[in-house]
Amino acid sequence: MVMSQVLEPKSWVSAFLSYLEDEKGYSDKTARNYLRAIEQFSHFMPDQSWRRLSHNSFKEYLYHLSREAKLGPASIRLHFSALRSFYRYLVRSGRVETNPLAELSLPVKEKRLPRYLSELQIEVLLSAPVYAWNQYRVDKSRRGKPVLEWQFLRDKAILEFFYSTGVRINELVNIKDLDIDHRSGVLRVMGKGKKERITVLGEPALRAYANYRDQIPLPIQNEWAFLNPRGEALSVRAVQQLFKKYLTMAGLDTELSPHKLRHSFATHLLDRGADLRSVQELLGHANLSTTQIYTQVTAERLRKSYDQAHPRA
């Protein structure tokens, strides 16, 4: 990974990035984000050494991000998450004696409840690829590159997988056909930090996937689960585009992301009585507190229903 204008010694940053990728299993994207945060700090304070930086150095940087760069609490916390992780590594590896960020107070991030789709909205969205295929066949005046039925079946399977398993978009595009156990109805997922987990596939998702795979032309069949017309794994960008297309067809907010199906998956499970620990495992959350935010969504929904319906609310 290329570095530019980072604080001396540069080898420390390089060793830290290798540690993130090789030992912690962080993705290239996460490592790049950490590098960017370190570089931005080094541009702000270019003539300092990591050994000589103090608590006040980072208080000054915090003030800069908040007052001059006008970043919000969430963005500031992301910056300092990278810097704190870097210093923890430096202390653990014996390169510095203390962590000047240890007692630094950061702005509190505003808690926003996850946005999710209702069960009815999910049904409309999941039926959109079938509707799209029927429209495509009827509209003889349509121009452009022809689209085959297996591509609509693929899109249907993708939407079903999102909602059935709660996978993230990066996890979905990396699913291989062998990761799917059709007999037991489970899916092996490689999640954040290269942590493997098992999640469950419902019958509609398994059926949609089987219908799609049965129609793939033999020349482009591949080990990847979801393919483009060249037989390559679909990209994240391609999945985002097809998701936006079906949101439009379903009459839903096109600003929604595939991650909202993950929120919907968790919220609907809890609404129907699933226990929190099971939902945590299915989502691949390291901490139960991350999953607990969905209980707040459920409680808020119940409160609204109560206020609307109870005579003495």
Give catalytic residue positions.
Answer: 168, 192, 259, 262, 285, 294
Name the nearest CA neighbour of 262 among 167, 189, 146, 193: 167
φ/ψ region of 197 (left if φ > 0, alpha if ψ in -120 to 50, else beta) reads beta
Give me the helices (H) in the chain, please: 10-22, 28-44, 55-63, 73-92, 119-138, 149-165, 169-173, 203-215, 236-249, 259-271, 276-283, 288-309
φ/ψ region of 25 (left if φ > 0, alpha if ψ in -120 to 50, else beta) reads left
Integer angstrom CA distances of residue 29 from 17, 18, 71, 156, 157 = 11, 13, 21, 28, 27
The burial class, CB within 10 Å (0-12 / 13-18 / 19+), for 195 is exposed
Q: Which residue is associated with the tokens 């049965």?
A: 214
**What does the block give as tokens for 145?**
């590159």
User: What's the first-to-final CA gap in the chain, in angstroms?
Assistant: 59
